[in-house]
Amino acid sequence: MAHDQIKHAALGGRLVIVGFGSIGQGVLPLILRHIDVAPERITIVTAEPKGSAEAANYGIKFVQHPLTRENYRDVLRPLLGKGDFLLNLSVEVSSVALVEFAREVGALYLDTCVEPWRGGYTDPNLTQDQRTNYALRASALALKEPNAPTAVMTHGANPGLVSHLVKEALLNIARDTGVDATVPKDRAGWAALAHKLNVKVIHVAERDTQVASVPKKVGEFVNTWSIDGFVSEGCQPAELGWGSHEKHFPADGRGHEVGCKAAIYLMRPGASTRVRTWTPYEGPFHGFLITHSEAISIADYYTVGDAARPAYRPTVHYAYHPCDDAVKSVHELAGKNWHQQATQRLLMDEIVSGVDELGVLLAGHAKNAYWYGSQLSVEEARELAPYNNATSLQVCIAVLAGMVWALEHPNEGVVEADEMDHQRCMAIMRPYLGKLVGVYTDWTPLVDRATLFPEDLDRSDPWQFLNVRVT
């Protein structure tokens, strides 16, 4: 049977999709292809009219009704009950509120990030600490309890897919360095393996080279995925998992008094903070240190010992170079003091070429650094699934895999990607990821930095964040 005919799971109840932007439109055909659910049992609830024609193509009920703190229960109550599935792909709708509601009615749940209610990212009454993904993640994890309907938190490309890539990368490095590559059975086993390999740093290293036939115009924000999502997370404080090998705490860094203690934040937006990283196609580049919850969850998952003074923990963060028009858009956004441009353009059909190279760079081990991930071209993405570009498909296939896992494990309560079976999820995602490659490199953030400009560097250890950060 061809992969595009495989039904990975069956949904006996109803499916409600909240939000229907690029990811909702891109994942719908994948759901219908790989999950046994009749179109008449699917309802889309969204704030905007976009996507209505795509929904109509599949005979899906489309309800344009923005969810708010005041109305979400009344809107969703007739649509959801025991055995149903709530797929949250919205922005500015509280993930915690939807998880609580899904649990009350007995429905399964999945989202791609932990969202606050509208204004929660930029509320001037909140402290920087309260605006972090660390705080949002903690609010979701506070809902953990046994034998509750499964709620898969933050399972898109990143966070989500990248946590499974980390596990495959660790096993590959172990195999290539003569370390026992038996698949660990639990969190302690995975953390012990990363510690034994001496993985100091994990970058989620992504370079998007997709190019459109129409260039960015003045006063326009252009991107290959959700513009509202990108702007909101870019305006949050930069965040990173803080490794046990680090010797130089950033002057603008701040820790957390409560919680897992696995991460810190910087007193500046992620979209104005850059870091050095590397991918196979691009080589070395500067990426934005955009906050994502995988920087916290991965660092937390691989911690060995006391949370406050761990024997081992890797430094983990996103290093994102979006498509070139998005970089120009961010530059313009920052110049306007983070007031978003009046016009948005999501690139899809007008993309003429390019690849989204998304993976994880594990560094500090015996073979220096290893990048493992997906190299997916826009041409491949269009052949694999309608309504997708390379960026959206990497998210959409992870959403599908998370839904299948939830249907197969319906009573796990709140879970993150790091806690899930990476082999099962990768089996579902692999056919849609283009070239899945692993490449070793001798590159470090100290390469070619000896003579041009004097810098405050730590040459005793190239993988110090001091060396990685662009100052």
427-467 pLDDT, tens digit per residue, is 999 999 999 999 999 999 999 887 677 788 999 999 999 99
Taking residue 470's Cβ as centre, other Cβ atoms within 10 Å add up to 11
Selection from 391, 447, 371, 365 nearest residue 203 by Cα: 371
Q: Using a pLDDT cut of 90, give the percent of the chain over it.
A: 94
Quick: pLDDT tens for 5-40. Answer: 899 999 999 999 999 999 999 999 999 999 999 999
Average pLDDT of the chain is: 96
Mean pLDDT to the nearest integer, 60-68? 97
Mean pLDDT to the nearest integer, 273-283? 98
Quickly state the pLDDT bin for 121 (edges 50, 70, 90): confident
According to CATH, what is the number of the domain 3-152? 3.40.50.720
Taking residue 274's Cβ as centre, other Cβ atoms within 10 Å add up to 20
At the fourth CATH level, which superfamily is domain 161-392+431-470?
A: homospermidine synthase like (3.30.360.30)
Mean pLDDT to the nearest integer, 319-331? 98
Sign of CA dihedral 298, 264, 202, 175: negative
Check pLDDT > 90 for residue 318. yes
Q: How far is CA 200 from the centre of its chain?
A: 21
Give the pLDDT score at 263. Answer: 98
**CATH 3.30.360.30 domain span(s) along the chain:** 161-392+431-470
Give the pLDDT score at 453. Answer: 74
**CATH 3.40.50.720 domain span(s) along the chain:** 3-152
Check pLDDT > 80 for residue 140. yes
Give the pLDDT score at 1. Answer: 47
pTM: 0.97
Mean pLDDT to the nearest integer, 186-208? 98
Check pLDDT > 70 for residue 2. no
Quickly state the pLDDT bin for 214 (edges 50, 70, 90): very high
Give the pLDDT score at 454. Answer: 73
Check pLDDT > 50 for residue 60. yes
Mean pLDDT to the nearest integer, 291-306? 98
Q: Which of 68-77, 116-125, 194-203 has the lowest mean pLDDT?
A: 116-125
Mean pLDDT to the nearest integer, 262-270? 97
Check pLDDT > 80 for residue 84. yes
Quick: pLDDT tens for 176-187. Answer: 999 998 999 999
